[in-house]
Structures are given as structure tokens and as C-alpha cells.
Amino acid sequence: MIDIKFLRENPEIVKQNIRNKFQDQKLPLVDEVIGLDAQARKAQQEADSLRAARKQLSKQIGALMGQGKKEEAEAVKAEVNAQAERLAELEAAERDLQDKVLTIMMQIPNIIDPSVPIGKDDSENVEVERFGEPVVPDFEIPYHSEIMERFNGLDLDSARKVAGNGFYYLMGDIARLHSAVISYARDFMINRGFTYCVPPFMIRSNVVTGVMSFAEMDSMMYKIEGEDLYLIGTSEHSMIGKFIDTILPEDTLPRTLTSYSPCFRKEKGAHGIEERGVYRIHQFEKQEMIVVCKPEDSPMWFDKLWQNTVDLFRSMDIPVRTLECCSGDLADLKVKSIDVEAWSPRQQKYFEVGSCSNLGDAQARRLKIRVAGKDGKYFAHTLNNTVVAPPRMLIAFLENNLNADGSISIPEVLRPYMGGMEKITS
């Protein structure tokens, strides 16, 4: 969320940012919020003046009563009572106007970084760098669900009966591989200095609106009926929420956390939810990383975070590339984002397996996450990145480690988590 003072002083910059994100329908919101903010400040100023006047009148009443001038004191009391009614009206108007300002401000996208390429959607994202040599074997690679089913590792039919489309049963060595990847990713991040955490898997609505836009909330989150709780779509939500309404001593930053959680997503409007396999699903598990830091340090941490994911996948011999997200592909709170994509030998192209985002102070402003520095308090910057999110990443893993005889090679780094197993065979 943008600072209202910045918007007030730089409306054209905010409008151009909206145009750069191809959200022209939001342009009128800028002038609307400026008008409402002016009304709110006017009401506040009048209310402050009334409060000061009432304070003076109260002193007069005391003095008049002390002098025995009861009638004059009663007249002043009547004036105070009349002002009280007006003050109540102003305070109610001020609250209403401030609520309207906040609602609109939460719809205006954050100012994107100048380095972000301008584009309408993900088709205009820009490749940055490739890591590892993509390989296409000289044998046919089956669809990922067929590979899993060969090992009796996937049961979609039973899951469909139990929960519907977008769910799955993982079984046997495939399920073990899934857990091995999560455990390896956990230890990988711990070894990079991150504190491990298992967070709440449900969060309150004020945390939801603090970490994401209304559009994301509508398309992603499952609401718990009858309670002010939502199932998390990623542990980033509850991890950033951990710091809600806190003042962090500057010398305790950065806070670097890595978290495990199941994740739940409606995937509203998503294409392919009906397709076979586990690429786009309603439930999955994930290892995440988040950073809360000083504003000047967030660009450095942004580069460190996406590099962690690249290094993790390369340690399992999976070729990856990084993709700079264009302006139209950035969610409203994001300043800058890079996707990490893994190589699919079957499709002979890359596909997304993780996303790294710098949100500037947008989440901190909404959640009131402040830092106590030597020169006063300021809002922290927050960042997040996917370490690994199976079962989607299993698609890349299985395709890149499939052998001609149908077996799956286990990279050395995963063997301790697979009981020393070097291959999965049917």
C-alpha cells in the first residue's frame, strides 16, 4: 500500500504507475482518494479545534464556579454540550472518510521498481539467465502422472471420489520422494542461516488483507465458514503475519525465516484444473523463505532469495532459468518479482516452480510492521520466495532424472532422505 502522503504529493506518478500495470480502470481512484483524504483532514482539523476550545471552556467553567458565578458557568456548560454534539458528528465523519480512504488505497497498486519491464501479462516476462544445460534424452518421456503411476505412486481417481478434482494421493516411493525433497529443502535453508518455522495454517482476515490484494484474496483463499479464518495459500502469509503490529529494533534485522506448510488454493479462473496430473491443484506442500529487513537492504536480499532456489534445483541437477516478471504480471503489492522456471525435457520448455518477490513496505504498512531506528520509526521491507513446492517440482525432478529403463535416479543430496536409495525402480 502506497503512503497517502506520497500519493497526495505525486498523483501523476501514481497514475503513470497504474498505466504501466495496464489497470487504467483504477485511474479515477487517485483523484477520488485525494478528495476523500482532503475531507477527512478537514474534519480532523475542525475536530481538533473543537477539542482545544472545549478544553479552554472547561477551564472557564471551573473558574466561574470558583467565583460563585453559577449562571455564567451553566451558560458555558451549554456551549460545551453543543460543541460535544458537533464533535461527535465530526469524529463519526472522520472515521467514515478514513475507512473509505483505506479501502481505496488498498486497491491502488504499489509503485513498481524502475527496472521492471513494461508488459501486459506473463507472455511479456523477460528471461534473465539460464543455469545448467537443458537436455532432451533420446527416449520418450511420458506425462508426469504416467511416470508416477508406473511406481504405484499416484492415485487421482480415489482422490476425485474423496475430494473432487485438483486433489491427489501420493503413494510409496513417490510419496517418500515428495517428503525427501521437502526435508532437504528445509535443511538447505537452515544451512544458509534461516530459522526454521512451522506456522499456523489458518489466518485471520486482517492478516489476509495485510499480505495480499483483494483480487488475490478472492481468487485464492478458502474461507472457514462461520469463523474469521482462512486457509493459507502459502506460508508467507502467516510468516509475515507473525510480525503484525510490532516494532522491531533495527539491530535485530534482518529476520530470515524458512517455513514448511500445506497450502490451499481455490485456483479460481485457472485453466487446466481439470487436467490429469498434479501441476495445478488445490492442495500442496511447500517450503518457503521470507525476509523482514531495512529498506536499503531489500534489493540485496531479493537477489539472495532467488539465488537460493536456483542453487537448490541445481544441486539436484535440474536445469533452471530466471524470468523477470513484467509490470502487468506483478500482483498489486509487489515492487519486483522473478520467477524460477525448471526445464521440462518432455515439453522441451521451462515452467514455473517458484517465485521471488520484493514487496517494499506495502505489507509492512498494512500490517503495521515498524522498525525502531536511531532516527525514529519506519516501515520494514518484506520479501518472500519459494524454496520448493512439490508436487509440482516433482514433475521437473522425475522428467530430469528418468532413465531409459524407466527407473528414477536419486541425486546424491537426496539419498540421505531416501534411506540411501540411489534409484527408484518399479
pLDDT tens column, 349-394 = 999 999 999 999 999 999 999 999 999 999 999 999 999 999 889 9
Phi (first) and psi of residue 369, to 5 degrees: -100, 105
Domain 122-424 has CATH 3.30.930.10: yes
pLDDT computed for residue 215 by the predictor: 78
Residue 326 C-beta-side C-alpha neighbours within 13 Å: 16
pLDDT at position 274 is 47
DSSP 8-state class, residue 419: T
For residue 263, what pLDDT is reported? 95
Domain ranges of the chain: 4-105, 122-424
Please choose, from the candidates 216, 214, 257, the residue with its C-alpha nearest in 3D space to the C-alpha of residue 238: 257
Query: What pLDDT is stored for residue 273 in this prediction?
Result: 47
Beta bridge partners of 170: 154
Q: What is the dihedral of CA 342, 343, 347, 350, to 10 degrees?
A: 60
Which three cell numbers mark 39? 475531507
* Spatial CA neighbour of 383 closest among 300, 265, 291, 296: 291
Residues of the chain with pLDDT under 50: 272-274
Burial of 144 (0-12, 13-18, 19+ CB in 10 A): buried
Q: Does domain 4-105 have CATH number 1.10.287.40?
A: yes
pLDDT for residue 51: 77
Cis peptide before 254 (omega within 30 of 0): yes
Residue with cell 489466518: 203
